[in-house]
Homo-oligomer: A and B are copies of this chain.
Amino acid sequence: MLVNQQHFRTIWPKFDDGKAMVQVIDQTRLPHVFAVADIASLQDMVHAIKTMQVRGAPLIGAAAAYGIALAMEESCTDVQLSHAAITLVAARPTAVNLKWAVDRMLARLQPLPLQDRPRAAWAEAAVICDEDVLLNQAIGQHGLEIICQQVRSKTRTLNILTHCNAGWLATVDFGTALAPIYAARDAGINLHVWVGETRPRNQGASLTAWELGQHGVPHTVISDNAGGHLMLQGQVDMVIVGADRVTATGDVCNKIGTYLKALAAYHGDVTGARIPFYAAVPSPTIDWTIEEGVAHIEIEERHADELIWISGKLADGTIASVNVLPSDTQVVNPAFDVTPAKFVTGIITEHGVFAPDQLREMLECREDA
């Protein structure tokens, strides 16, 4: 997508004078500074993942793949390959995509003669990135169809509400929840996005607002608290969010606060007219082994500091963090919540859009094939 009118992905390799490295957009400095970070070694990549210079499940997978490629530049022995795999997986132990990407790299590289491993690693990492982009573009096209249906029933700008960041910054390009929005924008549809700031980490305020702004998509930031009011007042036409996990029955596990937006969409505007609520995800995000999301998805409890300290830019331009709580206040910080399928209109995937109770059809189609 665009940054200062120039096309960027979130991650790419760079080969200069025989030296191979990786470059990434440093997400810890957004939205105040746009900076590209050089990742010259496995160690650099582990650091980038740990410190969230790169974040978002699909992007972390791509970063891990390139981490293996960088490791192969140092040495291409089996020992080095195992070391790289273990170190990368330990960088964010709960990230499913990271483990998936590392396993895929191992499966590709282990059978090869040592001298072939570096080139194959760079090539496989590039394929992982390109596949992510294609997947997200397909999600964008299926989501675009739904947006077009909504547009036909409206005579004014279409207002879409999103939560957190499931945009291109969370992936290699295009994003998941924002892919349909970018596709609609490119198709000339008159739309506007409500962006919830997404406390406690403020991914909406700092990342979603930034990337929509760079790509020229009209948007307005609101407190997370304001979403229900706007829906009741008829100012939201549909909701599209991403998801970290979707159950076989269509329960949606996503960033904390998603459930409250889904409830408000379900109760709709002042006339009670329901507002469609969609989660956009690549199909591997669907966990076919789980049916009861609220009871069976374990919710990650994150550090209290995320709520206690807020980072931003002081009036003099310095980046700093301020403590917003009385000292010694107890904090609980669940990172995700589960929206029961009852409140979900549909799941947008690369294979099409499915109502929660029809999600299994996707699996059956793929098993038939």
Chain B residues with Cβ below 8 Å from A330 are 219-221
Q: Which residues of B contact A320 (CB under 8 A)?
A: 314, 320, 322
Give the chain B neighbours of A30 by CB distance below 8 A.
326
A333 at the interface (CB under 8 A from B): yes
Contact with A224, one of B257, B309, B322, B337 (Cβ below 8 angstroms): B257
Q: Report whether over half of chain A's contact residues are helix, strand or loop; otherwise say mixed.
A: mixed
Contacts of A336 in B (CB 8 A): 229
Q: Is A250 an interface residue (CB 8 A)?
A: no
Closest to A258 in B: B225
A43 at the interface (CB under 8 A from B): no
Q: Does A12 contact B (CB under 8 A)?
A: no
User: Measured between alpha carbons, how far is A315 from B311 in the docked complex, in Å?
Assistant: 12
Are B257 and A221 in contact (CB-based, < 8 A)?
no
Nearest opposing residue in chain B for A213, CB measure: B326
Decide if B270 touches A257 in the complex (CB within 8 Å).
no
On whether the beta carbons of B220 and A331 are closer than 8 Å, the reply is yes
The answer on a CB contact under 8 Å between B299 and A206 is no
Chain B residues near A257 (CB-CB < 8 A): 223-226, 228
Residue of B nearest to A336 (CB): B229
Q: A270 touching B256 by the CB < 8 A rule?
A: no
Q: A331 contacts which of B222, B224, B326 (Cβ < 8 Å)? A: B222
Question: What's the minimum C-beta distance from A146 to chain B, rounded to whole angstroms?
Answer: 24
Q: Which of A196-204, A278-286, A361-369 contacts B (4 or more CB under 8 A)?
A: A196-204
A227 CA / B198 CA spacing, docked (Å): 14
Interface string of A307-339 (1 = CB under 8 A from B): 101111111000011111111111111101110
**Chain B: CB-nearest residue to A163:** B225
Does A355 sit at the interface, judged by CB under 8 A? no
**A223 lies within 8 A of B333 (CB):** yes
Of all chain B residues, the one with the shortest Cβ separation from A316 is B320
Output the nearest chain B residue to A196 by Cβ-Cβ distance: B225
Q: Is A259 an interface residue (CB 8 A)?
A: yes
Binds B, one of A81-89, A166-174, A260-268: A260-268
Supply 19 further A-B pairs (C-beta < 8 A) apart from A226-B337, A259-B264, A314-B323.
A199-B199, A199-B224, A213-B329, A220-B330, A221-B325, A222-B331, A223-B224, A224-B225, A226-B334, A228-B257, A229-B256, A229-B299, A232-B338, A233-B294, A310-B310, A310-B312, A310-B324, A313-B322, A320-B322
For this complex, 13 residue pairs linking A to B, each with C-beta atoms less than 8 Å apart, are A31-B327, A197-B199, A197-B324, A221-B331, A221-B332, A222-B331, A222-B333, A232-B338, A259-B264, A263-B263, A312-B324, A315-B321, A320-B320
